[in-house]
Structure formats: structure tokens, C-alpha cells
Structure 1
Amino acid sequence: MMYSPNTEFLKGVLDSLAATKIPVHFKLPDATVKEPFFVIGNRIDDDTPSSKFGAVIDTTLTIDLFYPIASRTQLEEAIFQAKKALGQRRNITSDIRIDDSIGREVYHVIFRVTDYIF
């Protein structure tokens, strides 16, 4: 079965993150699910035609990593492994925060993955 380029992009991200052995969800799980886990979130597209690439979609995907607050060193390793698993992209940024929105204090890393979909 053939899927849309956007579906293939999301599947590729899901498969890449699976290599980290950290569970991946497409929505925030309930409070009984312990971290670490990823949540693949919003995606923003720009499909303005480009003279350089032709038919291409410029997409930015948000991925959240919720990680136990116990060790900043282990968090930094998890961030490195996630970026390594995602591979070559146009751009990957990460923003580290301390967050209690899931009912307990955790590290919350917000990744923004920007890439072209052909």
C-alpha cells in the first residue's frame, strides 16, 4: 500500500525514535505511564512551490520527551541518542525545561524537527 509523503515522514520518525528504546506515543498518555517517553505532536507544513526543489513540503514536527528528573547527565544522553536516531534533517532544535504538567516534576524536552518532504 502506498502512503502519502506526510504519513511516510511520520512513520520514519516513529521508526527512528523506536531505536532509542524509549516508548513513543502520538498523544500524551495518562498519569500512570511513567517516563521516559516521547510524544509525537503537532506538525506544520509549508508547501509553497520552490524553484530549487519543485514540488516539496517544508515541514516542522514537534516531539516532546518526558524524562525522569533524577539525572541531568542521563537526560543529555537521551537527547543525544534521539538526535542521532532522527538522523540528518534540515534542522533539529531542543529546548530543555522542568515541567510538572503530567502530575509530577520531570524534564520536558521539546524537539522541533524541520525537514523537506519530497
Structure 2
Amino acid sequence: MAKILIVDDEVQVASALRRLFRREGFAVEVAFNGEEALQKLVTFDPDLVISDFRMKGMNGAELLERVLRVAPRAVRILLSGHADLWSSSPTASAQAVSHFISKPWDDDHLVSRVRTLLGGSHEPSPSTP
């Protein structure tokens, strides 16, 4: 089962993503800021990290740069509803951000994209009634 770390300072967004990916059979952890995410990486080795861009403290691009150093094999997705993403973060390393997804997202498209990014090898776990 693939593991996903979701990082977003908006509780509703983080909860929606957690429900979506758990329903699809992924193991999911949530962090509400960059520092909390880095702490989770000590014990949780994700296959994929989805981070919001605009968060208080460390922004998503900065977080994903640190994730690249700590968990280099993890796919790193930046999620944002802001078109000015790169102009507002000129130091963001293109290498640190594997992929960009715009808010609002379409659930089916997001799940499909994540499965593709993970190589399609992470099928959902069997559901229990």
C-alpha cells in the first residue's frame, strides 16, 4: 500500500484529501504545516508528498526542497490555487517540485494522476464492507 503525506494548513482541505486517498486504499498521514511535516518524516516514509503552497511559516516549495533531502525517493506535488506561484517563490528549486496541481482539483483526476506518478503499481487495498 502506497503512503501519502498531505500537508495543508487548511483543516478542511487536509481532511478532504485524507478522506479521498484513504477511500482509494492509500495509507495517509496529515500535517498542518511544514515543521509538523518534517517531524512526521522521522517515522513515516511516504511514497508521495502533497503540499499546499501558501502556508504560514515555511511555504510548500520550501518544504518540498527539504523533503527532497530527507526523502529523495518521494514524489513531491505542490498544490496551489494561485497563478503567481513561481513568481512568489523565485528560490523554489524546480527539482524539488516533481509536479504541480491546481486548486480546486477534480477527485478522479487527482487520484489518477497520483497513481500514474507512483508508477501504477499501487493498486487500492481491498475494501471491507
Query: What TM-score results when the alignment is normalised by the length of structure 1?
Result: 0.32
Structure number with the higher strand fraction is 1
Structure number with the higher helix fraction is 2
Query: What TM-score results when the alignment is normalised by the length of structure 2?
Result: 0.30
